[in-house]
Amino acid sequence: MTKLTLGFVGLGAMGQNAARQLLLAGHRVQGFDLRQESLQTFAEHGGEVAASLAHVGKNAMGTVIFVVNAVQAEAVLFGAEGLAANAALGHLVISCVTMSAADAKRLAARCRASGLVFIDAPVSGGVAGAAAGSLSIMASGPADALEACAPVFAAMGSRVLNVGTEAGQGSTFKTINQLLCGVHLAAAGEAMAIAERAGLDTQQVFDLVSESAAASWMLRDRGPAMVMRTYVPVRSAVDIFVKDLGLVMDLARDLRFPAMVSAAALQSFLGASGAGLGNKDDSAVTEFYRLGASHHDH
């Protein structure tokens, strides 16, 4: 298989693991992150640390971007040291960033104008999926560019869907995924909190519902933290769902689509974030429902 030279920007928990999968597959990866400790970890796993953002795409066929949002992606692309100013013509921008379809389309158009090729390829599967190389990748972009990215996607993910030829289609796909994740998680938080308010043994409730028709992946995965009420380690923060369910509502508004359940789930995450839990693990959404109750049994 072809060994590629790739740039990689954004070595947080997910990015770090995805970059490691590329290294394990034998690709040469030039990484950049603003955090020194992330670069150190990356180097320890055999990655090459780029001297600056300007150097990240040097002699590379493409650069994988794993930053938090569209604003950061825009800086990586069009900032003073960004890829638009420093990468070769035809350089592939492989964006694994969760953003709105509108932002993906806008960045793709700016990339086209700068001679870069933008691939809208958000991922699902979290830190665990990134670590196992089993991410789901929802990629949209020009057919030949997607073909060129195949070895990159194969290293990082186990399910690679080609969801269209236009930037924005991948992002919309991911938004639908996040609708279900956020709603399932808010519902799990509500169920565990009402069980506690009613005086039931939450561990017993969890043991039963997680093995019944009531189960969801989110309930099974996040339920134990809700029972223990310990929200570390942070797999993904409450504020991520404030952002992602916000994207769901933006999409619904654009489509004139009534997304009542998503709207209610967003309120739960906003409530938890407003109560100071924004940086805690997203399972802490259950605490939003527990704020009003006096805990006689604690």
Give, as one character, the DSSP assignment of residue 277.
Answer: I
Could you give the angle at the alpha carbon of 221 between the alpha carbons of 217 and 226, nearest 5°? 120
The answer to whether 23 and 46 are in contact (CB under 8 A) is yes
Nearest to 146, CA basis, from 128, 122, 165: 165
**AA letter at 45:** H
The answer to whether 1 and 151 are in contact (CB under 8 A) is yes
H or E segment to which residue 204 belongs:
helix 202-209
3-state secondary structure of 123: strand
Alpha-carbon Rg for the chain, nearest whole angstrom, is 20
User: Distance between CA 160 and CA 137 in Å, rounded?
Assistant: 5
Annotated catalytic residue, options 3, 174, 243, 280:
174
What is the dihedral sign for C-alpha 146, 110, 19, 245?
Answer: negative
User: Distance between CA 69 and CA 84 in Å, rounded?
Assistant: 18
174 is catalytic: yes
The answer to whether 13 and 42 are in contact (CB under 8 A) is no
User: Distance between CA 162 and CA 290 in Å, rounded?
Assistant: 42
Locate tokens 């690679």: which residue? 160
Joined together, the tokens standing for residue 187 give 């519902």
The answer to whether 262 and 249 are in contact (CB under 8 A) is yes
Q: Which residues are marked as active site?
A: 174
